[in-house]
Amino acid sequence: MKETYTLAELRDWGAATAEEQPPLRLAVFGDPVAHSASPPMHNAALEKCAIAARYCRLHVHPEELAEALRLLPKQGFIGANCTIPHKAAALSLMDRVDDHALRIGVVNTVVVEGERLIGFNTDGPGLVRALRAEFGVDLRDLRVMVLGAGGGAGRAIAMQCGIEKCERLVLVNRTLDKARELAAELAPLFRGPRVFGPGERLESVPWEESVLRRQLEHTDLVINCTSVGMKSSDPSPLASAILQPHLMIYDTIYTARRTRLMLAADEAGARSANGLSMLLHQGALSFEIWFNREAPLAEMRAALLAQT
Ligand code: NAP
């Protein structure tokens, strides 16, 4: 199997993959996509479940997405995942979108049903499962701070907090206007009778240490959705001095190691986890949607750890 395939190869899939056994019938569409850890994770699951199909990477440029998706039924695909930058564009290219994906406005999982394409989103539900596995908590019970509420991951996670109707949500972003815009969009989801202590249930605040310190006193879970920490030379997005022992810190960065933010949490005596579990559980949910059976989590996790 090649590292990545292209639209030109997808047009003539039989010829491009003639030698491949089991056949390539699932793919992740992205641009770039060479870094994606989804193929080893899903191939481990397919092998464990003795399903005669494999999962590959397809490098698809934005202007190619519509044609690439339309080719899936003709080329015998079971389904696909969409990653950066295709998740929002994929929504309008589906024949049907499930309610949850429609509310979030983003599709990351596609199912081929005859000639039709059905869109789902497993990122948010994947996070919910990851938090349960890592901390034994339910998102809906928590007061949450989302750091990086201006990017794609921050938006999806903040939306999930809204859908779950979590107790309180504080949106923080370097560029404050983006967090404000997101808060305005989310406001209808936070109107309601559930009130937890003083203060607004939904706020957007500037990234200033004194403001964050005050907010953290009324926060249970901090979710880092910034890209700060992706490079090993990056600092922690939050200094240990403003973290407190009661906090749970979830860093969405997926890696086998402890991130700088997790080390800062250790120093403050707070619990923490990295984004590997979110990646794992969104993948497991996609697998369950495609095959209507439980995903083999242990094999998928081992494949991810071997990659990162
Ligand atoms: P993105 O759309 O590019 O957003 C980047 C975010 O980081 C923005 O909010 C940006 O703020 C902020 N940011 C960047 N540099 C910063 C700095 N120096 N200081 C403060 N804030 C900064 O990226 P994305 O796709 O949302 O990904 C963000 C993170 O989520 C990545 O680390 C990625 O690995 C992770 N992620 C994890 C999973 C998983 O399954 N575990 C899935 C998806 C993404 P501005 O708006 O001010 O630019």
Each residue of 166-221: pLDDT tens digit? 999 999 999 999 999 999 999 999 986 655 555 689 999 999 999 999 999 999 99
Distance 53 CA to ligand 1 centre (A): 33
> pLDDT tens, position by position, for the chain (308 residues)?
999 999 999 999 999 999 999 999 999 999 999 989 999 999 999 999 999 999 999 999 999 999 999 999 999 999 999 998 999 999 999 999 999 999 888 899 999 999 999 999 999 999 999 999 999 999 999 999 999 998 888 988 999 999 999 999 999 999 999 999 999 999 999 986 655 555 689 999 999 999 999 999 999 999 999 999 888 889 999 999 999 999 999 999 998 889 999 999 999 999 999 999 999 999 999 999 999 999 999 999 999 999 87
User: What letter does residue 93 receive in the DSSP assignment?
Assistant: T
pTM over 0.75: yes
Distance 148 CA to ligand 1 centre (A): 6
What three-state secondary structure class fits 205?
strand
Residue 254 in contact with ligand 1 by CB distance below 6 A: yes
Amino acid at 181: E
How many whole angstroms from its chain centre is CA 95?
A: 23
CB 226 within 8 A of CB 237: yes
The strand pairing partners of 101, in sequence order, are none
126 Cα nearest atom in ligand 1: 40
Q: Give the residue whose CA is nearest to atom 31 of ligand 1.
A: 227
Residue 37 CB contacts under 8 Å (≥ 6 apart), including other chains: 254, 279, 304, 307, 308
Residue 308 in contact with ligand 1 by CB distance below 6 A: no
155 Cα nearest atom in ligand 1: 26
Which residues are part of the catalytic machinery? Answer: 87
149 Cα nearest atom in ligand 1: 9
Distance 117 CA to ligand 1 centre (A): 29
Six-digit token string for 1: 């199997």
Residue 174 in contact with ligand 1 by CB distance below 6 A: yes
CB 246 within 8 A of CB 90: no
Each residue of 129-141: pLDDT tens digit? 999 999 999 999 9
Residue 225 in contact with ligand 1 by CB distance below 6 A: yes
Amino acid at 149: A
Residue 161 in contact with ligand 1 by CB distance below 6 A: no
Residue 80 in contact with ligand 1 by CB distance below 6 A: no
